[in-house]
Amino acid sequence: MSEATPEALRRRPVVKRAAKHSPVSTVQAKEGEASASTAAPSRATGLDRFVSGRDTPSPTPGEPLAVTIVLPSWTQLVREPRWIWLVCLTLAALGTRLYNISLPASVAWDETHFGKFASHYINGTFFFDVHPPLAKMLIGFAGFTTGYDGGFEFKEPGQLYGDTNYVGMRCFCAVLGALLVPLAFLTVEAASQSLTAAVLAGFLVLCETSLLTVSRFILLDPPLLFFISLAVLGLFTFRNRHDRPFSASWWGCMVFTGACLGCAISCKFVGLFVVLLVGFNTMEDLWTMLGDRSVTLAKWTQHLLARVVGLVIVPMTVYLALFAVHF
Return per-residue pLDDT of the chain as tens, 327 residues.
445 555 554 455 444 444 444 444 444 444 454 444 444 444 343 334 333 444 445 555 555 555 455 555 555 555 678 999 999 999 999 999 999 999 999 999 899 999 999 999 999 998 888 999 999 999 999 999 999 999 999 999 999 999 999 999 999 999 999 999 999 999 999 999 999 999 999 999 999 999 999 999 999 999 999 999 999 999 999 999 999 999 999 999 999 999 999 999 999 999 999 999 999 999 999 999 999 999 999 999 999 999 999 999 999 999 999 999 888
Alpha-carbon Rg for the chain in angstroms: 34
How far CA 169 is from CA of 123, 139, 156, 210, 230, in Å, comes to: 16, 6, 18, 19, 21
Which residue type, as a one-letter code, is found at position 195?
L
Pairwise CA distance, residues 221 & 315, whole Å: 19
C-alpha count within 13 angstroms, C-beta hemisphere, residue 317? 11
What is the model's pLDDT at position 60? 58
CB 116 within 8 A of CB 304: no
C-alpha count within 13 angstroms, C-beta hemisphere, residue 70? 12
What is the model's pLDDT at position 6? 52
Contacts of residue 50, defined as CB under 8 A and 6 or more positions apart, other chains included, come to none
What is the model's pLDDT at position 65? 52
Pairwise CA distance, residues 238 & 250, whole Å: 6
